[in-house]
Amino acid sequence: MPADYKELKEQTLLANLEIQQRNLAIYTWGNVSGFDKARGVFAIKPSGVPYDQLAVDDIVVVDLDGRKVEGELNPSSDTPTHLEIYRAFPETGGITHTHSPHATAWAQALRSIPILGTTQADHLAGPIICTRVLNRKEVDSGYEKNTGLLIIETFRNPESGMEIAGVGPFPEEPLIFAENPMVLLGGHGPFAWGDSPAKSVYNAAVLEECAKMAWMVMSINPGFSSLPDYIVNKHYERKHGDGAYYGQTKA
């Protein structure tokens, strides 16, 4: 019943195209997947196909054992990373990986991004964590799978994450995955997620914008300080809390 996956594949296609429209990657340097929890499958970009040649039937559907269930092409080489994340956090509806330049620069600098303003606090209530670099063993065998596992491990044990620039070590308390929808993979680049493929691209764009601003803050005022907790929480809650009053849906 191939038609079953049509909507999932269409959503995933549109989200992949948005990578290019929002300048989050050049060439094929990014991919989006979309997860259907009920059926335990996710749709993902095929490997190495330019965005402007991408059609809905090029999108590949894969199950949580990594078996292709629909599609002719090879799925993204990052498929095992997406897979591990959906396994560990099945409420996730979409994942985006890009090489957007400012976020990637932070990942390459091996620094977590401090929370410096309300732009970031509107989307997560703290710094944006950068993972450690994968070790040799993790790279030599099951590299992309281990990339997913490292992201999961880092959310469970954030003290393994890289130093927050200008602030210090990352706090120990576990990070809630759905509430911190973005990460920097140390030495590599950004991943972001959300409850749909489109929302995961949105969060990838948020990350790029926060990374750009934080980079500039560091040169304008090297003695910058983090936004006080009471403002961080206020901004996060007014968009995401029980009493959220931003937007139209909770009017």
Cα separation, 231 vs 188, in Å, equals 31
Cα separation, 105 vs 103, in Å, equals 5
User: Based on CB atoms, which residue is closest to its own copies, 44 or 107?
Assistant: 107
CA distances (Å), origin 200, targets 14, 21, 34: 12, 15, 9
CA dihedral 11, 12, 15, 19 (to 10 degrees): -170
Residues designated as active site: 122, 246
Site string for its own copies, 180-199 (x = CB under 8 A): -------xxx----------
The verdict on 3 binding its own copies (CB under 8 A) reads no
**Binding residue (CB under 8 A) for its own copies from 30, 34, 46, 161:** 46
Smallest distance, its own copies to C-beta of residue 145, A? 13
Applying CB under 8 A, the site for its own copies has a residue count of 63
User: Based on CB atoms, which residue is closest to its own copies, 174 or 225?
Assistant: 225
Smallest distance, its own copies to C-beta of residue 149, A? 16
Three-state SS annotation for 1-63: CHHHHHHHHHHHHHHHHHHHHCCCCCCCCEEEEEEECCCCEEEECECCCCHHHCCHHHCEEEE
Q: Which residue type is seen at 41?
A: V
The verdict on 33 binding its own copies (CB under 8 A) reads no
Site string for its own copies, 196-225 (x = CB under 8 A): ------x--x---x--xxxxxxxxxx--xx
45 burial class (0-12, 13-18, 19+ CB within 10 angstroms)?
buried
The verdict on 108 binding its own copies (CB under 8 A) reads yes
The verdict on 21 binding its own copies (CB under 8 A) reads no
Task: Provide the angle, in degrees to the nearest 10, between the axes of the packed helices 6-21 and 197-220.
Answer: 20
Token pair in block for residue 33: 């997947």
Which positions lie near its own copies, rule CB under 8 A?
22, 26-27, 29, 46-49, 73-74, 77, 99, 101-102, 104-111, 116-119, 133-134, 136, 139-140, 143, 165, 187-189, 202, 205, 209, 212-221, 224-225, 227-228, 230-231, 234, 238, 245-249, 251
